[in-house]
Structure formats: C-alpha cells, structure tokens
C-alpha cells in the first residue's frame, strides 16, 4: 500500500493531488484498488477516479468510478463494471448542494490525518457513497493507540474507525491505523479478512532503534506545507503580496526602465564582481554620491549618468 499527497492545481484552483493504491492476492487471486483524487483545501472533491479489480481466472472483475465536478456545479458520477464478457455502466448526476459535507475516498485520507491529530468531534456525520454509489452518511470513531508491524519494525499507531451507513445494505466499517507523522500504516475492512499494510516506513518516521516514547519524544519541526490551514494562509498571503507588488510597479513605471538599463549594462560589461557592479550602478542615483563625469572610467564598471547643467 502506498499513498502520496502533493500540492497542485485543478482548473486554476489550488488543491491536493491524493494518490493511493494497494495490491495483493487472496488464495493466489490478484486483487487491488487505486484512488486518484483532486481535493480542495476545504476537503471538497473536485475529481476522483476509483479503480478496483479482482483477477479471477476466466472471469475477471473490474470496477471504475469517476466523480467530476462539472463547470455548472453539478457532480457527474460515472461507474463502469465489467466481469468476464459482461459490462454494465451507470451515470448519475447530483446537484452541488447534495454534496455538502461529502467525503470521497481521497478526501477521507486527508480528513483522517486531521482527526488522528486533533480528535473526532462528537456527533459529527458526513456524506459518502456506498458500494452502489448512492449517497448515505458516514461516521468516525477513535480507537486509541496500538502497536503495528511494518516490515521488521514495531511502530506506535493511532486507530480510527470509519463506518458507511448504507440505506439499502448493512453498515460497512474500515479500521485504519496511522503513524505519528499522519501516514496510514494499515487499513482493514471488518469482516473481509483482508488487511492493507504500508509497504515501508516513511523516511521522516525512520529511527535508529525504536519509536520514541511520549516522555522522550522530541519536538518535530513544523512542516507548514503539510498543514492545510497554514498552507491556505500562505497562499492567501502570497496572493496579497503579488497584488501589492503589481500595484507598486504600476505606480512607478520608471522602476522597469531602471531595472532594464541595469540588466543591459550588466550583460554588455559582464563583470566578474556582479555585486560591486550593482553597487556602483545604483550608487550613481544617490544624492550623496560624488559627481563623476559620464564614461570617465575605462574599467568594466557601469557608466554613471551625467548631471544636467
């Protein structure tokens, strides 16, 4: 099982690209699932592709579900299921209002990371899809701490339950355990007997001996780009500064001309000491600079503009 989260853009909107996949076998029959999702800063799903397969000999099963937020605000859900020579396709459309609080498989991975660190609010439910892509409710419950084995190492993890309360089917529950870094260590669908486990311990969780206990845990550096709230503030501040700088440039058009002149002189002279060259060039515009006749120097320093009579 591998999971990656990256910062990206979806139709000009800042978002997270979540990619998760797991592959294994049951009784020597290959099985697997893959999720690729574009999730907004507020955990809104913009687009998601969910692929599942069971490679039964002579009768393979494949399921693919595509969720897309269309430009008119409607969610289109297209599901294709094939088994053997038979194929079935269903298309559904939902108004955006019905998806308020909707948690897809991709956004669920981000939400669970937050809950593991901040806890699960009481009596909070969300909207989700059941196995028939019908809208229903989902709920979460903390499981506490436990030790899990990843490879040859025992690591501390925090458990979390997610239950899908289908209207037509029995509830389905997934039991997940997360490392202190927020990485998903294992995931089990209760009753299925199948457990997906992290293939290797992430580099930021690697230690020389064993996991640090709570009493001896060191203060970890803040990774603000992985905190959705802090990263959202960063983007807002970045946009604010860009607008402020653009406004200043419009009010002072001479700035572009000045910088263009400097670059032109710099590329013509090609001095070894760029810093000294810049100091001499811009020093000529200082009122405190001594008056020097234009082109008085033959060295590769910048020519000073002559003073007007």
Q: Where are the alpha helices (DSSP H) in 73-104?
A: none
CB 167 within 8 A of CB 101: no
Tell the residue number behind the tokens 């000045």, with chain if given: 258
Average pLDDT of the residues in 183-210: 69
CB 47 within 8 A of CB 109: no
The CA distance from 173 to 202, in Å, is 26
Q: Which residue has the higher pLDDT, 253 or 301?
A: 253
Tell the residue number behind the tokens 């037509």, with chain if given: 168
Report the pLDDT value the prediction gives residue 163, as an integer from 0 to 100: 94
The CA distance from 159 to 142, in Å, is 6
pLDDT level of residue 225 (50, 70, 90 thresholds):
low
Report the pLDDT value the prediction gives residue 306, as an integer from 0 to 100: 44
Global pTM? 0.63
User: Which among 66, 106, 72 has a CA at the least distance from the CA of 90?
Assistant: 66
pLDDT digits (tens, 9 = 90+) for 65-80: 999 999 998 999 999 9
Number of C-beta neighbours around residue 57 at 10 A: 7
Tell the residue number behind the tokens 């899908």, with chain if given: 164
The distance from CA 114 to its chain's CA centroid, rounded to whole angstroms, is: 13
Q: Is the pLDDT of residue 206 over 60?
A: no
The answer to which of 7-11, 67-71, 153-157, 287-291 has the lowest mean pLDDT is: 287-291
Encoding tokens for residue 239?
A: 């946009």
Q: Where are the alpha helices (DSSP H) in the chain?
A: 105-118, 228-251, 254-269, 274-283
CB 215 within 8 A of CB 224: no
In whole numbers, what is the pLDDT of the chain averaged over residues? 80
Q: Which residue has the higher pLDDT, 173 or 180?
A: 173
The CA distance from 178 to 199, in Å, is 14
Report the pLDDT value the prediction gives residue 226, as an integer from 0 to 100: 61
The distance from CA 263 to its chain's CA centroid, rounded to whole angstroms, is: 38
Q: Which residue has the higher pLDDT, 309 or 187?
A: 187
Residue percentage of the chain with pLDDT more than 70:
80
Phi, psi of 256 (to 5 degrees): -65, -40
């Amino acid at each position: 099982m591998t999971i990656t989260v990256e910062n990206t853009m979806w139709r000009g909107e800042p978002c997270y690209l979540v990619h998760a996949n797991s592959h294994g076998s049951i009784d020597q029959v290959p099985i697997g699932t893959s999720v690729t999702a574009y999730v907004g800063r507020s955990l809104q799903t913009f687009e998601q592709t969910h692929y599942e397969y069971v490679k039964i000999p002579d009768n393979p099963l494949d399921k693919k579900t595509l969720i897309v937020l269309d430009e008119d605000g409607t969610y289109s859900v297209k599901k294709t299921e094939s088994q053997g020579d038979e194929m079935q396709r269903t298309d559904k459309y939902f108004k955006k209002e019905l998806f308020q609080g909707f948690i897809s498989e991709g956004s669920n991975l981000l939400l669970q990371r937050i809950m593991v660190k901040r806890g699960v609010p009481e009596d909070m439910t969300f909207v989700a899809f059941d196995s028939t892509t019908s809208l229903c409710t989902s709920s979460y419950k903390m499981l506490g701490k436990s030790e899990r084995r990843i490879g040859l190492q025992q690591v501390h993890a925090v458990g979390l339950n997610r239950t899908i309360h289908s209207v037509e089917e029995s509830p389905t529950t997934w039991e997940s355990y997360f490392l202190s870094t927020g990485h998903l260590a294992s995931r089990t669908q209760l009753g299925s007997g199948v457990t997906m486990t992290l293939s290797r311990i992430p580099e930021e969780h690697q230690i020389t001996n064993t996991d640090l206990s709570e009493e001896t845990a060191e203060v970890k550096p803040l990774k603000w780009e992985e905190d959705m709230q802090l990263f959202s503030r960063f983007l807002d501040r970045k946009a604010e500064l860009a607008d402020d700088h653009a406004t200043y440039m419009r009010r002072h058009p001479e700035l572009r001309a000045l910088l263009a002149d400097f670059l032109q002189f710099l590329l013509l002279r090609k001095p070894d000491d760029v810093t000294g060259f810049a100091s001499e060039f811009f020093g000529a515009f200082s009122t405190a600079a001594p008056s020097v006749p234009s082109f008085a120097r033959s060295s590769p320093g910048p020519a000073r503009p002559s003073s007007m009579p």
